[in-house]
Structure formats: structure tokens, C-alpha cells
Structure 1
Amino acid sequence: MALKKTIDVQAAVAIAAAEAIAAKTQGTFGVGGLMLDQHGNVLQSLHNNVVKDGLIFDPTAHGERQLIDWYYAERAKGRDLPAPQDITIVTSLDPCCMCAGAILAGGFNVVVAAPDKSAGINYDNSASFTALPENLRAQAGDSFSYPAILGSSLYARASMGATPKSFFIGKTISEPTQALCSLVFEATSAEVMEKFNIDLPQKALKDPATLPAGHAIVRALKQQYPDALTYRCTPHQPDAGLAPFLRQAMARDREHGGAGDAVAVLDSFGNLLLCMPGRMAQSGIRSAFMETTRAYAQLRYKLMNGATPAQQDEVRHYLGHPKDGTFVFAKGPDAGAVSFMNLGAYGSTIEGPLPLKNPAQFQYVLPTLPEAELAAICAALPPLYRNIIRIRPTQVADAALVGALSEVA
């Protein structure tokens, strides 16, 4: 099959805009993108898939993240694809922290159309990338391109960041195409964000540990993670009883090409729902957190998709939004690209303010950075993450749990 070719930034952005329109039609965030090789051949084009069938499908299913996982999956099948530094991702919207981290972790190039003043990595329109940890800024400056938009409207801008790859003959974006990319996203953003806020308040949630073993929700949980509901702690206070589950997942993470991380999901009652490793050997961005948050969202989606309103309501009562529970990371964030991706993916999972009574929703057992350095990374994040979601990873309080994991780290 002949590959479609585009050697013009404008034409490439037009393809991304068409994908964004398809996303809007689907009822998800209006963002799209494509992946080009070093000759301008279109390898793949995709759009946001956070929402499907009116339900949250996968909070990590942004266009750029999906393109990168597609790339790794194709290479795993034996397809001869260029190295990441010879690949260019063209996206209709400035990458969020998750996608920026994924792009940097893989070493890809990116061409960006519309700005995102709330969650974009270039939210301040300076191409200085101060939202990134200092050790990643030069790489972003060398690989993130913001082509000129010629004209006199509010969409006009001078070129900034890296120069688009040399195969691009035309290196500017037209004002109408830029406006389309911006407006399609703006037309969907509030509506999709609302879908993250239709879950029940914590006081209305019901304890899944009270359900019979044969109940569909329990069966689905056990199918996803056989040890679901076998551990329970005081809500939001993981203790040493969680250690065996984390240690088992950490060992599997190493088997799967990772550094020995694992992430557990505890619900608002303190029940263990999931504890998963990453799959870094399959894809350099399939971290333990990416696997865990995706698995929990897709578990809920599969139970609710096609179900009656009463059945959907029951799922929401027993499997609440993760903001009311706790994510427990075996290892705390560091200053690398994968950790930055995880911080962004956590933001995309929470997608709004944390409950005031659960400020320590994001906990880790073993620190990898001094607390002040981690706090500085979080304080520099774009406005959505630092001001609205208020991402604040905190170390677990239980010394016995820290000790139990220190033995295997």
C-alpha cells in the first residue's frame, strides 16, 4: 500500500485538524495528530480517544501517546520503522505534560499547531519549557517546533522552538487551519471535562468488599487482578500489608523491562482494587502508572458500556472515581521524562480538583528525589496541574511499608 506523503507543515496540520474534527464527532477532546517518517510519509494518524460511547474510556488516550505506543507496537511486530529521532509527530494542540513526557522519553520530534494555555507544555508561549525539569528543557528546545502562523489575527505567531525537519518544504500554518485546531478543542473541552465530574461523591459510594463473590463487578475486578479485595487498610493510609502485592508487581515490572516500579489503586474504603507493573519492554512509555490508570478506567468502561442506566449506576456506586481513593507508587517520581509523563497522566486521570479531605491522593513508598526537588517540579507544572489539580505527591506515612520495599529496591 502506497504511503500518503506530506512535505508541507500546512498540509500535515490539516490532517491533524481533520482527526480533531473526528474526535469532536466522537464526543471526546477535539485533538488529532499524525506521525511522519523522515521523508514526509504519513505512517499513522489518530485522534483523542479519552471518551467513547459517552463514557470515559481511557484518560491516557491522547493522540500523541497513542501514536507513540502504535510506533512501538509496529516495531515489535517486526516492521522496519525509522528511529524516533527521524520521526515527526504533528499535533493539532500543544502536548500536555503526559504527551510531552512520552515524546521526550522516546526521543521523537513534534510540530505543534494550536496553543493550550492551561495544560500545554508551552503554556506561556515562550518555548523556554520551564514547565519541564531543567534536565529535559534543552531536549525539548531541540525537538518541539511551533511553526509561524502568518497573518494579523489573534492566531498569528512567529516561529519558535526547533526548526521543523528539513523534508518540510513549507514551514508555516495558515490562520484558518490554526483557528480550526483551536476552536475544535475549545468546543469540546468543557463538555468532556464534565464527564469526569459525573461520578458520585465519596459519601454516596458503596463498599465493593460487601458484594458476593459471584457479582459481576467482583468477577470483573478479579479477572483484571486476581488479588483484588484481598487487602484493606484504613482509608488513604496504606500500611505494610500492601508490601507483598507491591513487591510482586515490582518483580514483574523488572521482568517486563522496567526499573522495578509498581502502582496500586486503593478505593475510598481502603480496598486494594489493582496493583500492576509496567510493560516497558513492549513500549518505552508503558509505565506502571500508565498501565494501572488505563486498566482501572477500562474496567469501569467495560462494565458500563451497553449496560442499563441502573447497571451503570451500580458500577458508579461500587467503583468510584480514583480521586476519592489512593494511588500508591512503589517509587516516587524522579526528574526523568517517564516520571514527568506519569505526573501528566495522573493529572489527566484526576482532571479536576482533588477532594479537600483527600489531598494525599498520590502517595509513593520509596523516594527517588529530595522532597524539595519534587515539590519544585510540581510547582513549575502548567496551570491546570499546579493550580487546579494541585499535584502533590507525598510519601506514605507507614515506616514498616517503606522498610519492606527498601529491602527489594
Structure 2
Amino acid sequence: MAYKKTIDVQAAVAIAAAEAISAKTQGTFGVGGLMLDQHGNVLQSVHSNVIKQGLIFDPTAHAERQLIDWYYAEKARGAVLPAPCDVTIVTSLDPCCMCTGAILAAGFNVLVAAPDLSAGINYDGAASFVALPAALRTQAAASFSYPAVLGASSYRRSASGAAPKSFFIGKTIAEPTQALCSLVFEATSEAVLALFQNDLPREQLRDPATLPADHAIVQGLKQLYPDALTHRCMPQQPDAGLAPFLRQAMQRDREHGGAGDAVALLDGFGNLLLCMSGRLSQSGIRSAFMETTRAYAQLRYKLMAGATPERQQEVQQYLGHPKEGTFVFALGPDDSALSFMNLGAYGSTMEGPLPIYNPAQFQYVLPRLSDAALEQLCAAMPPLYRDVIRIRPVAVADQLLASELSACAGS
């Protein structure tokens, strides 16, 4: 959709709502957003693209995340854009933890229409941002705006958080518009979440290492990561054999502007499928985990889109949902915005409870927080993350792997 300028909060939210309706038509989460400069010019608008053609396309393709990556991509192409502190993201739904972390890491402002009581960063409505690490709460309070919603029904609310930017003349949201934002999201959530639980059960999965080298699934993996299927460990037990792959990705991460992080994805058979670095020099939110989870989801999508049901089932058999395997982070979580984004993106990848037989799906090699501090960080997250998915990263058990990566991290 082409929009030019808006200097009214209600008009801006109406654009976000229109994008959310487009998302609903596509069959994905009914969320939309737009990006405004300091004069109210609409830089870009977009809606959720988590689902396309009834398939998971990209679990991280929320409206806000896409807008931020768009901003960085435009800057890289030479576009003259204002600094993030002069840009406002208007979203139809309270940002999730992934999008909140991305917004804070990049330094944008945000204006929110509807609440999200399950995954929203302001899930309790207090605008105190207790779900965030303490170091990020002040930044959120100064950049997250929840304008007043005028009306007399349950959708009514008083203004909280930061004041809308000064270019806005009208600074309130009409009750029907906010209700529309809420209802469009509610109308899509159940069906989308069901798609995340639509993968084959563990007993029907097959080992991709048994496929011939010229099979499309193997070739797809190798195109993404040439070393795919060259390492194998016990399921859910990363070992020292993973060290060379992680070390190589950690070095690439530093070359691409990162702190030396890397993320490997092992499947339920213990096969190494991917091991990727971040690309923070291209976009300030393209962390190693974002690259890994997006690459895997989009490979599955590419192989299944437009395929016969038999072909789709074969892809699901050999490339199971990542919850069946293990994400292995070189660096454990810390209290930074990027790390909080990663935790949220992990939640968006799972979008449901972890299997009872694989509670340690998220493992890390080198800790950056004490165990108590990490426990506290996860326990403070919104209900979806702490009560449903029950995110709790754990350290890998193999001390030799930790020892080998420690040397790399210090180099």
C-alpha cells in the first residue's frame, strides 16, 4: 500500500490496522505496522509474513522486525534516512519480546495500538516494562508510547509510556480502531498457532543423513551451509566435535560486526544442519540466531511451497520442526537488547510448549550471566514465554566443547 504522510495518531493507527487486515487475508498473524520520520512522512508500511500459502515462511517476520531490517537495507543502498531516534514505528499490536529487543537495539521509537496480554512487552498494561532486563527499562519507558484510547468500553485506556512525538497533532486513538486491531489479531491467532503444531510427531521423522547426496533436501541444506550433515552427535547432546564449526562461524560473526557469536542447529538425530554467524554490519538486528532460524524455516518453505502433499510430507519427515532438535549458541544470553531479541525470536520459533522429552532445546556453550540471573531474566518474561513455552536456556554438558570455545572467544 502507498501512503504519504500522517501527523495524527489515529490516522497512523488506521494505516497499521489496514495492514493487519491484509495480513489476515494472507492467513498470517493479523498485525501491521508502519515507519514514520520526524515529520510524519510514511517511510514504509508492512504486515506480518510469518505464514504464506498456509505454510510457515519465517517465524521472525513480524511487522516491526521487517520494518527495522528494511530501514537498514535502505541505508545500505545509500538512502538518506533519519537516525533511528527520529523514527517512529507504529504497530497495531504491542511488540513481542523479539520485536521489542530489536527496537531497543536499533534505537527506534514505537507507538502501540492494541495490547497483547500473552506476548506483549507491556502485557500487564502498567508501562513499567518489568519483563525487560533492568538496564533496558528506562530506554523502553522513554521510547514506547501507548496513546489514550477514547471511549467507554473495555477498549478504553489512559495514555501511558512516552508521549507521542511532537509532530503528531492528534494524540489519541479512536476506540473502534483500537478494537479493530485487537479483533483482527484475535481472529488469526488460533489458526496460525495451529500451523506451528502441525509437524509430524517424533516417531515419524526420518534421518536426513540417509538421503543420497543429490536429493533436493540435502542439496538445499548444502546450499545454505556446505558443512551440513558432516557432523553427528548423540541427540540433544552437543559435543566437542561441534567446536570447529562453531569456531569458524564465530570468526565470521566478528568479521560481520558481531561479538563472536554463532548458532548451530542440530536435528533430532544429532545431525548438524546449520551453523551460522550474524550479519550485524548489514543490519543491526541480524544476529546469529535470527539468521539460523530464518534460514531453516525458509528452506522448509521453499521445498514445500506449491509441492504435492506427498512431497510436503517428505520434507516434514526429513526436516522436522526445530523443537525436535537443539539450538546451540556459542554465547549464552546476557542482559542486552540483542540478547533479549534472540530470546523472543526463539519463542517465536517455538510458538508453543517444548516437547517434554526435549526440555533443553536451547543450549549455550559460554555463559554470560550467572545461572541465577538467567533464571530471573526468563522468569520475568511475558506469560507466553515463561508459562507456555517455558524458555530456559541451559549450558551444554560437554566441558571439552566449552574449553575449546573459550580459547576462541578470547582470541
TM-score range, shorter chain: over 0.9
Q: Does 1:263 align with 2:258?
A: no
Number of the residue aligned with 1:105: 105
Looking at structure 2, the residues matched to 73 and 408 of structure 1 have their Cα atoms a distance apart, in angstroms, of 31
> Structure 1 residue 196: deviation in Å?
0.3
What amino acid sits opposite 2:27 in the alignment?
G
Q: Secondary structure at the match of 2:49?
A: coil
Partner of 1:358: 358
> In structure 2, the residue corresponding to 1:99 is in which secondary structure?
helix
Asked if residue 238 in structure 1 is aligned to residue 238 in structure 2, the reply is: yes
In structure 1, distance between residues paired with 2:170 and 2:157: 16
When normalised by structure 1's length, the TM-score is 0.99
Separation (CA, whole Å) in 1 of partners of 2:325 and 2:117: 29
Count, aligned residues: 408
> What is residue 197 of structure 1 aligned with on the other side?
197
1:285 corresponds in structure 2 to 285
Q: Deviations over 1:81-127 (max 9, x none)?
A: 00000000000000000000000000100000000000000000000
CA distances 1:40-94 after superposition (whole Å, capped 9, x unpaired): 0000000000000110000000000000000000001111100000000000000
Deviation at 1:148, TM superposition (A): 0.2
**Counterpart for residue 312 of structure 1:** 312
Q: List structure 1 segments (4+ residues) > 2 angstroms apart after TM superposition.
A: none
In 2, the alpha carbon distance for the partners of 1:248 and 1:201 equals 33
Question: Is 2:330 the partner of 1:323?
Answer: no
Aligned match of 2:157 = 157
How far apart, in 2, do the equivalents of 1:112 and 1:17 lie? 11
Structure 1 counterpart of 2:264, one-letter code? A
Do structure 1's residue 341 and structure 2's residue 331 form an aligned pair?
no
Q: Distance in 2 between matches of 1:214 and 1:71?
A: 39
Give the Cα separation in 1 of the matches to 2:190 and 2:198. 13
SS at match of 1:407: helix
| 1:312-361 deviation line (CA, Å, top 9, x unaligned) | 00000000000010000000010000000000000000000000010100
How far is the alpha carbon of 1:144 from its aligned partner? Answer: 0.2
CA distance in 1, matches of 2:321, 2:115: 29
Give the C-alpha shift of residue 204 in structure 1. Answer: 1.1
Match of 1:234, as an amino acid?
A: M
**Distance in 2, Cα, partners of 1:126 & 1:105:** 22
The reply on whether 1:148 has 2:143 as its aligned counterpart is no
Residue 165 of structure 1 deviates from its aligned partner by 0.2
Distance 2:213 2:235 in 1: 22
d(CA) in 2 for partners of 1:123, 1:69: 25
* Cα distance in structure 1, aligned partners of 2:361 and 2:213: 28
The corresponding residue for 2:11 is 11
Tell me, in whole angstroms, the C-alpha distance in 2 between the residues paired with 1:86 and 1:218: 45
Aligned to 2:272: 272
1:93 corresponds to: 93
- The equivalences for 1:75-224 within 5 A come to 75-224=75-224
TM superposition shift of 1:195: 0.5
Gaps of 5+ in 1: none
Q: Distance in 1 between matches of 2:326 and 2:291?
A: 16
Q: Secondary structure at the match of 1:180?
A: helix
Alpha-carbon distance in structure 1 between the residues aligned to 2:278 and 2:94: 26
TM (norm. structure 2) is 0.99
Q: Quick one: which amino acid aligns to residue 290 of structure 2?
A: M
Q: Partners of 1:10 and 1:151 in 2: how far apart?
A: 13
Distance 1:318 1:150 in 2: 52
- Amino acid paired to 2:230: T
| Structure 2 residue identity aligned to 1:135 | A
State yes or no: 1:377 paired with 2:381: no
Using the TM superposition, give the Cα deviation of residue 3 of structure 1 relative to its aligned residue in structure 2, in angstroms. 6.8
State the secondary structure of the residue aligned to 2:113.
strand
1:152 Cα deviation after fit: 0.6
Structure 2 SS opposite 1:334: coil
The secondary structure found in structure 2 opposite 1:270 is coil
Structure 2 unmatched ranges of 5 or more: none
In structure 2, give the amino acid aligned to 1:367: P
Q: Which residue of 1 aligns with 2:65?
A: 65
Q: Once the 2 structures are TM-superposed, how far is the Cα of residue 211 of structure 1 from its aligned partner?
A: 0.6
Letter in 2 for 1:389: I
- For 2:219 and 2:76, the matched residues in 1 are separated by 32
1:203 shift after superposition = 1.4
Q: Deviations over 1:278-324 (max 9, x none)?
A: 00000100000000000000000000011111000000000000001
Deviations 1:162-205 (A, max 9, x none): 00000000000001100100000000000000000110111110
Structure 2 partner of 1:228: 228
Q: Distance in 2 between matches of 1:248 and 1:299?
A: 22
Q: Distance in 1 between matches of 2:185 and 2:377?
A: 27
Distance 1:67 1:346 in 2: 19
Identity %: 78
Letter in 2 for 1:93: L
Q: Please report how far the alpha carbon of residue 9 of structure 1 lies from its aligned counterpart in structure 2 after TM superposition.
A: 0.1
Structure 2 residue aligned with 1:299: 299
Match of 2:42 in 1: 42
Paired residue type of 2:351: E
What secondary structure is seen at the aligned counterpart in 1 of 2:33? strand
State how far apart, in whole Å, the 1-side matches of 2:5 and 2:369 are: 45
- What is the match of residue 401 of structure 1? 401
1:8 deviation in Å?
0.2
| Separation in structure 2 between the aligned mates of residue 42 and residue 244 of structure 1, nearest angstrom | 46
2 CA distance for matches of 1:37 and 1:198? 40
Deviation string 1:249-293 (CA, Å, 9 cap, x unpaired) is: 000000111000000000000000000000000010000000000
RMSD: 0.7
